[in-house]
Amino acid sequence: MSRRLAYYRVSTVDQSIEVQRAALGGDFRREFSDEGVSGKTKASERPGFGALLAFVDAGDTVCVYAIDRLGRDAIDIQETVRDLHDRKVTVEVRGLGRIEGKVGELIVAVLAQVAYMEHATIKERLANGKALARATLAATGRTHKGKTSLGGRPVAADAAKVAEWRTSNSASIEATAKNFGLGTATVKRYCAEVKAATT
């Protein structure tokens, strides 16, 4: 008997699969997911997708939110779809429908390449934005978006001075935080940064 199965993937742990689940609508025999797993990790090496492969059987349909949920690399996506087809399993993509036969594989190849290009473009845009922010910060003391530091977290104190004061006074994290008017998390971060820079 044919079963509908769902597969969800998000790249970071602060993201949720709930958007994908809601979009696919439910009514699945079983759901599999990988949370905090990059698309760069081959599908077969992900715990959730590996469990799906162990469970899936001929005649089943695997439903995904988008083709890039299967992977970021165009070749990996194609191999994954081909592997499922070889197992007599249908792949269904939201908004696209069932991927079947050679025509379906051609569509997957094109979509996978588009997804890869989109990812590369976003990466390039982010790199350009960071470079502009660094240059503007060095020239004006503020980024092009008016922030006083990169990453949106303002520099509360000189990390080296905080770490040096703590060491020379044999002070606790709490005492150091109180002395500089900082949070304990900031002091811990500063001390870790200084330690990493000197080792």
- Residues 68-120 have pLDDT tens digits of 888 777 778 888 888 998 999 999 989 888 887 666 666 766 766 666 666 67
For 13, the domain range is 4-116
Q: Compute the distance between CA of residue 185 and CA of residue 182 in angstroms, rounded to an integer.
A: 8
- Are 107 and 30 in the same domain? yes
Question: Can you give the pTM of this predicted structure?
Answer: 0.56
Q: Which of 11, 16, 149, 170 is catalytic?
A: 11
Q: Decide if 146 is inside a domain.
A: no
Q: Decide if 36 is inside a domain.
A: yes
Q: What is the pLDDT of residue 112?
A: 66
Q: Compute the distance between CA of residue 161 and CA of residue 8 in angstroms, rounded to an integer.
A: 46
Question: Considering its fold, how many domains does the chain have in total?
Answer: 2
Q: And the tokens for 123?
A: 């990466």
Q: What is the pLDDT of residue 159?
A: 85
Is residue 11 part of the annotated active site? The answer reads yes
What is the number of other CB atoms lying within 10 angstroms of the CB of residue 3? 15
What is the number of other CB atoms lying within 10 angstroms of the CB of residue 73? 19
Q: And the tokens for 171?
A: 């002070």
CATH of the domain at 52: 3.40.50.1390
Q: Decide if 101 is inside a domain.
A: yes
- Are 9 and 99 in the same domain? yes
Q: What is the pLDDT of residue 193?
A: 85
- Are 53 and 105 in the same domain? yes
Buried-state track 17-39, b at ≥16 Cβ within 10 A, e below 16: beebbeebeeebeebbbbbebeb
Q: Compute the distance between CA of residue 184 and CA of residue 175 in angstroms, rounded to an integer.
A: 9
Q: Is the predicted pLDDT of residue 65 greater than 90, yes or no?
A: yes
Cβ proximity of 49 and 34 under 8 Å: yes
Q: And the tokens for 177?
A: 């935080």
What is the number of other CB atoms lying within 10 angstroms of the CB of residue 186? 20
- Are 107 and 166 in the same domain? no
Across residues 168-183, what is the average pLDDT?
A: 90
pLDDT band at residue 154 under the 50/70/90 scheme: low
Q: Decide if 176 is inside a domain.
A: yes
- Edge-to-edge order in the sheet of strand 90-93: 30-35, 4-10, 61-64, 90-93, 97-99
